[in-house]
Amino acid sequence: MNTFKKVFHIILLLVALSLTGSHQALSSSDDMQETYKNLEVFANVLSIVQQNYVDDIDTRETIEGAIKGMLSSLDPHSSFLKPEDFNELQEETKGSFSGIGIEITVKDDMLTIVSPIEDTPAFKAGLQAGDRIIKIEGESTKEMSMVEAIKKLRGEKGTEVTISIHREGWTDLQEFTIVRDVIPIHSVRSSILEPGYGYVRITNFQRNSAQDLQNSLKELVKEGSLQGLVLDLRNNPGGLLDSSVKIADIFLDEGIIVSTRGRLKDQNMEFSAHSSGPHYNFPIVILINGGTASASEIVAGALHDHKKALILGTQSFGKGSVQTIIPMGDGAGLRLTTARYYTPNGTSIQATGITPDVLVPKIGAAEEENPKGETEIFREKDLRHHLENGGNLEAAGEKPQPPTIEESKLISDKVALDEATREKLKNDNQLTTALLVLKSMNIVSGQNTAK
């Protein structure tokens, strides 16, 4: 049997198996015939390429390229993972990998930074959300897949990688030579802003993030009774769905945290809160911005819908889809978008994002220059082939524009920050505002202590 026939029969066999094993079979024999016809076209093209292309081709590599093209035409987050790429992904979810520390996506066929991870080499080098990576080690990234780019950006600790960056407002490319390092396992950091008011920053969602958060909260409580907490999810690109559910559960005692809806029944799930563990009754302000994506949007949406937190900052990224990692027989993997997720109120944030209760642009940041939040920073809705919103589970009216902090009148004229706190927060007006709001909420509610 020649190569053409082998490939064609393998493709037909795989399709037949997928159809018989699927809960969502094709609707009619006409649809099935159409699928077989299109697969025959693919096999014919492959045969012609094998026989007539100027050089000998690697058939496996060519078919993998076709698979990658098929998945990239679906949405920006579905991809094929070679065995080595699949292993790297598994390492990343454990929180230990060596690289420069950025979350990337593809926009207009160009690699674009969603967010640098705090305190990583990329963050320290000054890379920002929205930066476009034009070259990696002199090689153009035009039409380069994320998997290929990640492989080039990662490497052994102590090695260097040079990338050429274009940023809005720059006339020329700028080169950054960055020394790779082990990206920190711990994704949670905490501190006391001033007596009674705590601060927790979550940089991404890994397997151990929920436990790290619980440990941080215990330490903050040891410092004294907490009267309020700022939960900082700015530039948090997301991570594991399970981790975000566990983190939301820490603050919630009951009710739905997030639900998912897909084409298949087993993709329709609800994740609910439990009453076990400490009860935290202090007010919470969550900080978000355009780099707040995916799992971090799940946490913000859950706490907001249950009226456990006030959201402050600017519109989030809007990645409201769920990717399932499907292992393949040869060690490869398939990262496939299988569902949209919905906040407890039945709201899909896909391609729309979380709208803050109070709009507080960050002073001095390019993203926040427009006081009404109409920014130039890219979001999920700007990505080619992005998944549509899908609508809400329950009908909802159009959301009004969030008020600015001046319009909201949330800050009482009775609150102030001491000089030491002002000095510590002087370069972060969003965090300063969040602390003032927390103190005002305590004055209004009359709550002076909470445990």
Catalytic residues: 294, 305, 319
139: β partners:
136
Burial of residue 32 (number of CB atoms within 10 Å: 0-12, 13-18, 19+): middle
Q: How far is CA 276 from CA 119, 222, 252, 437, in A?
A: 33, 20, 10, 29
- Asked if 273 and 329 touch (Cβ cutoff 8 Å), the reply is no
Helices vs strands, H then E, count in the chain: 12, 19
102: β partners:
116
Burial of residue 444 (number of CB atoms within 10 Å: 0-12, 13-18, 19+): exposed
Pairing of strands 333-342, 79-81: antiparallel
335: β partners:
79, 325
The token duo for 420 is 């030491």
SS3 category, 186: coil
How many Cβ atoms sit within 10 Å of the Cβ of residue 141? 23
Pairing of strands 284-288, 310-313: parallel
Residue type at 78 in one-letter notation:
S
The token duo for 76 is 């920006």
Cα 366–Cα 370–Cα 372 angle in degrees, nearest 5: 140
- Asked if 440 and 412 touch (Cβ cutoff 8 Å), the reply is yes
